[in-house]
Amino acid sequence: MGTTIQPEAWHDLYVMLGSATAALLGLLFVAASLHVDEIVKNPVFERRVRNNTRHMLALLVEAAIVLTPQPQAAAGWEIAAVNMLGLWIPVTFTYRMLVKARAEARRGGWGVHRAAAYIMCYLLGAAGGLILVQSVNGLYVITASYILILVTVVLNAWRIMLGLSQPQKVRE
């Protein structure tokens, strides 16, 4: 392939990924609105729902970057930047849960393994963006990162919904 991303080669995959992300984002809004009282009562659940929304918005931007006809190097830098901004979400949340809100973290079902998964996925995506600057093979790394973040968001959303469905005493 040349020096421009060939969107037609990745078009169907990224249309599917972007559409799935948008649909899941809508479902997260519906689920959160059905449980808004419980979410507001627990700051960890509230932050987790907000962060899931942010993760999916980052994925939508990434899909748009891949689908936009532009120089390959520009897309690589853009994707690296989006992933570095996305990395800020789990890093700040982890800091908050470990340093400022340990008791809340336990009640909200926070786990360091989920934070580590997000951090690794965003680092993988940033690396893929940097690889894309030089080689179209970076799209394989970016796609792996995208799918892993999407799966992690879905599993995290499921855990949030399970946690919200438990009585308050069980969560504590």
The pLDDT assigned to 166 comes to 65
How far is residue 123's CA from residue 61's CA, in Å, rounded to a whole number?
17
Distances (CA, A) of 74 to 68, 79, 97: 11, 9, 35
Per-residue pLDDT tens over the stretch 9-34:
788 999 999 999 999 999 888 888 88
Residue 43 lies in a domain: yes
Residue 78's domain comprises: 7-171
Residue 158 lies in a domain: yes
pTM for this one? 0.83
Q: Is the pLDDT of residue 85 over 50?
A: yes
157 falls in which pLDDT band (50, 70, 90)?
confident
Position with higher pLDDT, 114 vs 97? 114
List, as one string, the DSSP characters of 44-88. HHHHHHHHHHHHHHHHHHHHHHHHS--BHHHHHHHHHHHHHHHHH
Total domains in the chain come to 1
Residue 35 lies in a domain: yes
The pLDDT assigned to 130 comes to 97
